[in-house]
Amino acid sequence: MSRLRLLGTMTGVELRLFVREPITLIFALAMPLVMLFVLGEVFGNTPETDEVIFRGVGAMDYYVPAYVGLTLASFGVLALPVHLAAYREHGVLRRFHASSVPLWAILGAQVVVMLAIATVGSLVMVAVAMPLYDTDLPRSTAGVLGAYVLSALSFAALGVLLGALLPTARAAQGVGIMLFFVMLMLGGAGPPPEVVTGPLRVVGDVLPLTYVARLLQDPWLGFGWDAGTIAFVAGMAVAAGVGATVGFRWE
């Protein structure tokens, strides 16, 4: 079987399995919408005039790209690691390994499926936000696409790393939920970094989502590019990718 057909076959299998797991699917589609409604009702989308909290734009213009990042993060720290760790824990990886299914095909299929679902979730959220809160389309579509691809790769690599290192689905879930909530609260998708101070600010500054949110906001809101932000997200992709390759275990 050619490499592309193998990836296609495995992706088809993973997609069917994912769609049969309604909880994950509902979470992926509903989570960004719930976030959008809750903060949208609190803050609205009036552009800032005097004090700069939301980078000088309306709150929801600030949050929509951040929620796109949050959706990617939820797959990177929760769905992907839990799925991978469960496969190892239950002996599914062992079964695939014994039938010579290469690792790249197993991981590739999972990543493709999860990114597809995350993308659908984000598109739905953006489509709802525009009429509801009058949010803007990206200023630079190509820029947002590039930022999205880099962010997706980075969180996919982190997901594989966590899935490689955490021995059981339960462990992956525990660690994943913790990381997800910390990022939700302190990583740019919760209170904006401008109002977070002290130690919490320090924590926020090392969270991947902080940088992914900024990476997506910059081209979306027309703020150009920040080399440091790009370097952090790309660096995480490389570091997590290397770590996952070294740390991976079939059983």
Partner 1 sequence: MEQPAIAVEGLRRSYGDVEAVRGVSFEVGRGEIFGLLGPNGAGKTTTVEIVQGLRRADAGVVRVLGLDPASQVRELRRRVGSQLQDSALPARMKVREAVDLFGALAGTGVDRDALLEGWGLADKRGAAFASLSGGQRQRLFVALALVSDPEVVFLDEMTTGLDPGARRVAWDLIRDVRARGTTVVLVTHFMDEAERLCDRVAVMLGGRIVASGTPQGLVNRHAPEIRMRFSAPAGGDLAWLDALASVRRVQRWGARVEVEGVDPVLAEVSAGFLARGAYPEDLRVEQPTLEDVFLRLTGGEGDR
Q: Which residues bind partner 1 (CB under 8 A)?
A: 1, 6, 9, 13, 16-17, 20-21, 87, 90-92, 94-95, 97-101
137: left (phi over 0), alpha (psi -120 to 50) or beta: beta
| Closer residue to partner 1 in complex, CB, 8/146 | 8
The beta strand positions in 97-183, using DSSP E, are none
Backbone φ, ψ for residue 51 (5° rounding):
-90, 145
CB of 20 to partner 1, least distance (A): 4
| Closer residue to partner 1 in complex, CB, 44/91 | 91
CB of 19 to partner 1, least distance (A): 9
CB of 97 to partner 1, least distance (A): 7
Q: Within a 10 A sphere around the Cβ of 209, how many other Cβ atoms?
A: 28
Q: State the Cα–Cα distance between residues 242 and 146, nearest whole angstrom.
A: 22
CB of 31 to partner 1, least distance (A): 22
| Closer residue to partner 1 in complex, CB, 110/151 | 110
Q: State the Cα–Cα distance between residues 202 and 151, nearest whole angstrom.
A: 21
Write down how long the chain is. Answer: 251
| Closer residue to partner 1 in complex, CB, 89/136 | 89
| Rg for the chain, CA atoms, rounded | 18
DSSP code of residue 195 = G
| Closer residue to partner 1 in complex, CB, 22/199 | 22
CB of 227 to partner 1, least distance (A): 42
